[in-house]
Each structure stands twice: as C-alpha cells, then as structure tokens.
Amino acid sequence: MSTMTLAPTDPTSPAARTEPRARFVDLLAAEWIKFWSLRSIPWVLGLSALVIVAANLKSALYTHDHYTPGDDDPATMAQVALDNAYINASATILLLVAGAVGVIVITGEYATGLIRTTLAAVPDRRAVLLAKACVLASVMLGFGVLTAGVSFGASQAILSGLGIGQSIADPQALRYVTAAALFGPVCALIGLGLGVVVRHTAAAVVGVVLVLFVLPSFFTETYRWSADLLHAMPLPAWKRLALISLTHQRPTEYPATVAGAWTTYAVWPLVSLAVAAVVIRRRDH
C-alpha cells in the first residue's frame, strides 16, 4: 500500500505568501493621506486661519486706537491685552471649523463607501478610529498653535505701544494661548465622535453647532445644577480659561474653576471617542 505525500509548498509562491498585519504607523500614514486628499480641507483650514488672525488683529488695532491706560490695576490691563489676543468670535469660528472638519473626516468615508474598504483591509475598527483621531488631533493642534501663536504675538506687539502688551512667559498668558491652541483638537474630536454616531455630514455638523454652540445658552450660573452643566461644556470652559481672575466679572455664587475647565477639555474628547468606538464596533457598515 502506498502513501500519498504532499509536495512542500514553495515559500516564494503567491499561495504561500500572506499579507503582514498592518502596523499602527501604517494606519497613521494611510489616514494622513486620506485626510489631505479631501480637497476642501486645505481651503477650509487656510481661509479660516486667515479670518481668525485678521479678527484678532482688528480687535487689537481697535483697542490700540481707543483704549487709554489710566489707573487700572495690572490684572485689568493684562486682561484687556489677552482679550485681544484671541477674541470670543475667533474661538467660535474655531469651534465651528474644527467640529465640521472632525465630522467630514469620517462622514466623507461613509458617503463614498470607502469606509467598507478601510474596514475590510483593517478589521480592527477601533484601531482605525484611533488612527483617524490621532491624525485629526495633530492637524488641529498645529492649526491651533499657528493661529493662537500668530494672533498672540502680533496683537501684543500692537498693544505694546500702550504699555499693556503681555509676554508669553507670563503664566496667565501661557494658559490663555494654550487653551486657545487646544480648543481646536477638543472640538474636532467631538465632531469625529458625532460623525461616527450620525454618519451623515449635514446632520452631524448641525449636531456640532447645537451641542457646542447653542446648548450652553440654555444654562446660567443662577442655580447650582445649571451652573454645573454650563461649566461642563467646552465653550464656557474656554471662556473661563481666558479669564485671568474672576475679580472683574459679574459675581456669582457658582463660579467656574480653572481645574474644572481643564477637566472639561479632557473629558469631552475621551467620552466622544469612547462612544464612537462602541458604535463603530457594533454597527454593520
């Protein structure tokens, strides 16, 4: 009786070769390419950067022409100078732009069906989401550092003629600029989370506007529960970090704290990504 033996497989043959498992650095590279392949992204970031810096410089020039330093205490003059480094309108623009970019990064793939190809190539959906989040956060952090840094340097140079220009070495100024630079990544990651949940660009962008911009207007610091909810939102957190102190603000029984504002900055993106990770893992794409 003869036995059948199998010929050894040629290790160089296509059948014997298997694709190596994708490394996380490969996912980052792929997501970086996909991010910048969206033609609208460079235009949106470039134009919004110009608008943000221009708005801040216009505010600084107006203050330079109309503000007369008198017997104001140093804290008041420092607050005036910092208020012109990154005005609330610029923070609002950054919120809307960053949130919308975060949405587009994921909903663009849903709209084109590319998400199926991506998840077929990389079955680990959480790794794909994390790679998207890392690329998005890094780009928006660079955007925030650029706009906040240029705005701060130029505005303080303008206001130095009044003797109220601030130095970045001052702890209060450094906190102000850091909060402005980090506001972009925070809002962008929230937008990414909403995009994963909603999967529709227009609806998710509307969700960003409602949650980040409109919702805070429904709460005040009159009652403790309302103040707690207000302070737990990103835009009010930015406004608290932009204040040197609460001395010259309308007195309230439940003021926000700096530590609480930084906590809000950290919790929102983490919770948004955690929810997105659960949704993207369970949903059939």
The reported pLDDT for the residue numbered 247 is 65
Which position has the higher pLDDT, 56 or 20? 56
Three-state DSSP class for 253? coil
Mean pLDDT of 110-139: 90
pLDDT digits (tens, 9 = 90+) for 224-259: 999 999 999 999 999 999 998 766 566 677 888 999
Q: What count of other Cβ atoms lies within 10 Å of the Cβ of residue 205?
A: 22
DSSP H/E element including 29: helix 24-37
pLDDT digits (tens, 9 = 90+) for 251-273: 677 888 999 999 999 999 999 99
Residue 104 has pLDDT above 60, yes or no: yes
The reported pLDDT for the residue numbered 4 is 44
DSSP H/E element including 198: helix 171-198
The reported pLDDT for the residue numbered 141 is 97
Gap between the Cα atoms of 220 and 211, Å rounded: 16
Q: Which of 130, 102, 110, 111 is nearest to 211 (CA)?
A: 102
Mean pLDDT of 69-80: 80
pLDDT digits (tens, 9 = 90+) for 7-33: 454 545 444 445 556 688 989 999 999
Gap between the Cα atoms of 250 and 245, Å rounded: 11
Q: Which residue has the tokens 């008041």?
A: 76
